[in-house]
Structure 1
Amino acid sequence: MPITNPTAHPTDRIDRIKACASGRWREIFVRLGMPETHFLRPNKSCPLCGGRDRFTFFANEADGGWLCRRCGHGDGIELVRRFCSASFPQTLEKLETVLGLPHPNERYSRRRFDLKSARQAEEARLAALAEVWERAQRLCVPVAHTETNPALRYLKSRGLGECDRSTELRWLADEPYWETDEKTGRPVKVASYPVMLARATDEAGRLVALHRTYLTAAGEKAPVSAAKKMSAGAMGNALVRLFPASNLLCLSEGIETALSVHMLTGLPAWSVISLSGFKRFDAVPVGLEKLLIYGDNDASFSGAAGAYELATRLRAKYPHLAVEVRIPTRVGEDWNDVWQRERLSLGR
């Protein structure tokens, strides 16, 4: 007979579910009754409110991140909870069942979660990422090569040609691009493109994930359905720490946005990679005195909401940390838009 296990910790269950669900969220949503069409492309109808052209599933995010311009945003667990109208414990049980994980209130289980195998798989994943990063080239190259380097040409087109100093950016001349076949569900190589890499690390500086921006030789985004992709795997507190923090630090969503903030302020800036990264952020560096959160001014207010939500949480947890939120004044703009106007006014 099932019994309650007093030693089970909710955070352990959540971490285990996220580790097993990474890269499988679309499959999970479909198995729980959500039509797959919601998750194939951006700006589809929402599985929660049904509204057209307002829902986006971030397939390259390990935690199943999503955004609806009416319902808000969250991770895969939150989408399942709301779709199934379930309590949080019930949601965890549903996900454990789909993933084949034992429930913590089961004394015996036919399915044992093999921690050793999971650990070995994670070590293999990280080793593969490290191999890609090691063979990639630094962006710092002689000025004469700037015009032939797709990654530098891309940054220059965004007004960020001086940001090659970041050690967290590299590039590869030829990287395969994969998409999931809608009929078979299997990955298919579409083509190969130059790619700009950004390294996401944890608090100890260890590589956790790689963000890829697929490009053309001319330095434009590649003509694919998702030119920006994050490698699969649990993110934890992984961020793209573009420049070493001092007693001041700027935080923003996207990588180019963080680089733009750096150009505007001259201060160290980190990227949380996406809006859901604001929810994950809890890695305040030792010695930090002031954190400036740069949110996007989305028409849906989601960027500002995420920035202020993070500020509220950090002020409560770190009462001695000065926290400010900054949002572009124009609706629909991010901080790269602001920097582009500023550099033009300066003649740069």
Structure 2
Amino acid sequence: MNVKDLKLTPEQWVSLLLKYGVPASALTGKATPCPMCSGTDRFTYDNRRGRGDWICRHCDDGNPKAGDGFDLICRFSGITFIELMHELSGGSLDAARNDARTLAHASPAPGVKRKADPAFVEKRLTSMWDRAKPSATGDLLMRYLRTRIPGLTAPAPQALRLGMLEYRHEKKVIGTWPGILARFELPDGRLGTLHRTYLERSAPAKAQIVSADGEILDSKLNDMTLNPLAGGAVRLMDPVDGEIGVAEGLETAYGAHMLSGVPVWNCLNCNLLRQFVVPEGLGIRVVHIFVDFDKVDPKTNKSPGVAAGVELAKRLRAEGYTAIIHRPKLRGTDFADEWVQYAASRSAVHVPPVSHSGAMLAATL
């Protein structure tokens, strides 16, 4: 897309800016508070050249700033210029993310390509965790979770923190985004890794990150691995009455919790779900396994998420635990999808949890 060829009427520029969240009060043509630095009467949107033009006379670092409408959208919303051009060209970021999710079921949790010094990895992860802020009611982390899981009533988890995170691509830092750090612990309590979910800077949504050459990058990544991940999970909630649940992802875990009332942990993906080990000393006797109801893999003739859950259930039962498998009603969905559908059907976001909801698979599977 060549932006020089894009011609918008004054009304179309205003409509486009509003679409990306620029407040209407800043687009009157008069001196107003700056939507970026909030300075009083510093900002004027004048569309002087017909390009959505604006000026802030004392922005951010104390110097004047000016630009066109595209620059205003990028500065205000936090998306990159390439991302904006991709969206305006009609590119489907959702389709790319769905493809990435499908591949994640068939691949183990990402790890480092080179053998890093354990002391360096521990220092990096500990420093990143310590700099991040504990989750709190109303912060971007909790607003993101409540956007994805409407009506979420779970308390702010100690296993999640909110930080400003660098994004590296091809060994170079391409930007910094706010992000959720999820502490992945092994059964003995040692740190395995920190999982990162990058968020938009000004909205409770996953970040849309595009490289300089237009490659759509994953907004969810593991950091460096300190200890092998097999057996671990992100412990989002404390066990209740000897029961715990496990699921493949963060949003899926919270969706399963809202539907069942069971405290649920996040195993990150189906390969780590099948390897989950019940920690000792927590009194856990019952494990609910909330599987993703994936489409059937033509190579194995199995649903990857369901197959992983069945494998885990068989092992846990052999070890003396009660293992109960739950799956969503519709193929191609997970428990985050099911909760959203359930909440919408009740026409309310604050819906009481449904005890042990979801279709239960037969114990012989």
Give the TM-score band, short-chain normalised. 0.5 to 0.7
The aligned runs of 1:145-224 (5 Å cut-off) are 146=138, 149-159=139-149, 161-172=152-163, 174-180=164-170, 187-216=171-200, 217-224=202-209
Q: What's the CA shift for 1:178?
A: 0.9
Q: Distance in 1 between matches of 2:280 and 2:237?
A: 13
Q: What's the CA shift for 1:42?
A: 8.4
Question: Root-mean-square deviation (CA), in Å?
Answer: 2.8
Q: Distance in 2 between matches of 1:240 and 1:55?
A: 21
Report if the CA contact (8 A) 1:152-1:164 is conserved.
no
Q: Structure 2 stretches of 5 or more lacking a match? A: 1-96, 210-216, 297-302, 351-365
Q: Distance in 2 between matches of 1:256 and 1:218?
A: 17
Q: What's the CA shift for 1:150?
A: 2.7
Fraction of identical pairs, as percent: 27
Aligned residues: 233
Report if the CA contact (8 A) 1:62-1:235 is conserved.
no
Structure whose alpha-carbon radius of gyration is higher: 2
The structure with the largest helix share of the pair is 1
Report if the CA contact (8 A) 2:232-2:277 is conserved.
no
The aligned runs of 1:1-348 (5 Å cut-off) are 58=107, 61-62=110-111, 121-141=117-137, 146=138, 149-159=139-149, 161-172=152-163, 174-180=164-170, 187-216=171-200, 217-224=202-209, 225-233=217-225, 234-246=228-240, 247-286=242-281, 287-300=283-296, 301-316=303-318, 318=319, 320-344=320-344, 345=346, 347=348, 348=350
Q: Distance in 2 between matches of 1:138 and 1:215?
A: 16
Q: Distance in 2 between matches of 1:221 and 1:259?
A: 16
Distance 1:321 1:229, change over 3 A: same
1:156 is aligned with what amino acid?
R
Report if the CA contact (8 A) 1:170-1:197 is conserved.
yes
Q: Normalization by structure 2: what TM-score? A: 0.58
Q: What's the CA shift for 1:315?
A: 1.7
Q: What's the CA shift for 1:264?
A: 1.9
Q: What's the CA shift for 1:220?
A: 1.4
Q: Distance in 2 between matches of 1:42 and 1:332?
A: 11
Report if the CA contact (8 A) 1:139-1:164 is conserved.
no
Q: What's the CA shift for 1:259?
A: 1.5
Deviation per CA, 1:170-215: give whole Å up to 9, x if none.
101x2111112xxxxxx11111111011111122323221011001
Q: Structure 1 stretches of 5 or more lacking a match? A: 1-40, 45-53, 65-98, 100-117, 181-186
Q: Normalization by structure 1: what TM-score? A: 0.61
1:61 is aligned with what amino acid?
P
Report if the CA contact (8 A) 1:193-1:215 is conserved.
yes
Q: Distance in 2 between matches of 1:55 and 1:237?
A: 21
Report if the CA contact (8 A) 2:109-2:269 is conserved.
no
Q: Distance in 2 between matches of 1:171 and 1:288?
A: 29
Q: Distance in 2 between matches of 1:267 and 1:188?
A: 41
Find the counterpart in structure 2 of residue 33 from structure 1. Answer: none
Q: Distance in 1 between matches of 2:274 and 2:110?
A: 13
Q: Distance in 2 between matches of 1:266 and 1:137?
A: 27
Q: What's the CA shift for 1:60?
A: 5.4
2:307 is aligned with what amino acid?
A
Q: Distance in 1 between matches of 2:284 and 2:177?
A: 39
